[in-house]
Each structure stands twice: as C-alpha cells, then as structure tokens.
Amino acid sequence: MFYILISVIAGAIVVVSRILNTKLSEKVGLIESSFFNYFTGVLASLVLFIIFKENFSSSNFSNIPFYAYFGGILGIAIVILNSVITPKMSSFYATLIIFVGQLFTGILLDCLTLNSVSITKISGGILVVIGLTYNLYVDSKLDEISVL
C-alpha cells in the first residue's frame, strides 16, 4: 500500500512540476527554466545524498553501464517538450497522452529486456487510448455545439 501511495504522489508531482516549468518558461525562457529545473533537482539530490550517504557505496557506482547517463539528456528533452506542449493543451490530455507513451514504452522495454509480452498491459493501454479518443471526440462535439 505504501508503494502505491508513493506512486500516486510521484504522479501528482510530475503534473505539478510540468505546470510550474511551463509557467517559469513563459517568464524566463525555455532553456533557462530547464536549467533551473535541473539546478533545483541537483540541490535536492545533494541534500538527500548527505542524509542517506551511508546507504551508498563506491561499488554501487562502478556497476552503472555507460548508457545510464543518457537519462539526464532525455530528462532535459522531456522538460523542454513538456514546457512547449503544456500551454497548447489541457493538463488532462497532456497527462493522458504522456501516460500512454510511458505505458507503451514500458511494454516495449519489457519485451526487449525481459523477452515477455503482457497482454493485460497492452489491453489496458488500448482501453486508455480508446477512452482518450472517445473523450476527444465528445469534447470536439461540445465545442461545435458551443460555437453555434
């Protein structure tokens, strides 16, 4: 239950962070807001590292594959893209579309790394896409009615 609660909190933080980064990018610029996002992330990470440093050992860091460091570059791309996308669509749709992308990327990675395909995850992802498509259709019809 604890991990479910933490997952829900992490998801909420992602949405709030995306909105805050978008507002900041409108005021100081896209690249600058991404810099401040990562700068505050580094500061928070350093504080957590100081608090939990006894849990880290040098052997943990020597086993990290080189490609793992590309996560930072991908993170920068995600922050910038989110700052561009968020003002152009509702937070609801942006969150759902990002979720669908994460879900199907996770399924693909599971397939490539674990050599397993989860029919239930694929079915769930398809149901979310169908629901999102239906909701977009209903919203477009409501927009047409309100214009008349």
Based on the domain organization, do 107 and 97 belong to the same domain?
yes
Based on the domain organization, do 128 and 94 belong to the same domain?
yes
Instruction: Quickly state the pLDDT bin for 94 (edges 50, 70, 90).
Output: confident
pLDDT reported for residue 58:
64
pLDDT reported for residue 103:
86
Q: Which two tokens stand for residue 139?
A: 């919203």
Torsions phi, psi for 34 (to 5 deg): -65, -40
Based on the domain organization, do 13 and 70 belong to the same domain?
yes
Based on the domain organization, do 111 and 75 belong to the same domain?
no
pLDDT reported for residue 60:
66
Once rounded to an integer, what is the mean pLDDT over residues 131-138? 86
Q: The pTM is what?
A: 0.66
pLDDT reported for residue 139:
82
Report the domain count for the chain. Answer: 2
Instruction: Quickly state the pLDDT bin for 43 (edges 50, 70, 90).
Output: very high
The rounded mean pLDDT for the chain is: 84
CA distances from 126 to 56, 106, 122 (A): 40, 14, 6
Q: Quick one: which of 65, 132, 139, 126 has its CA closest to 97?
A: 132
Domain that holds residue 9: 1-88
47 pLDDT exceeds 90? yes
Based on the domain organization, do 97 and 80 belong to the same domain?
no
Based on the domain organization, do 65 and 100 belong to the same domain?
no
The percentage of the chain sitting over the pLDDT mark of 90, rounded to a whole number, equals: 6
CA distances from 105 to 19, 48, 52, 83, 99 (A): 23, 29, 31, 21, 10
Based on the domain organization, do 100 and 84 belong to the same domain?
no
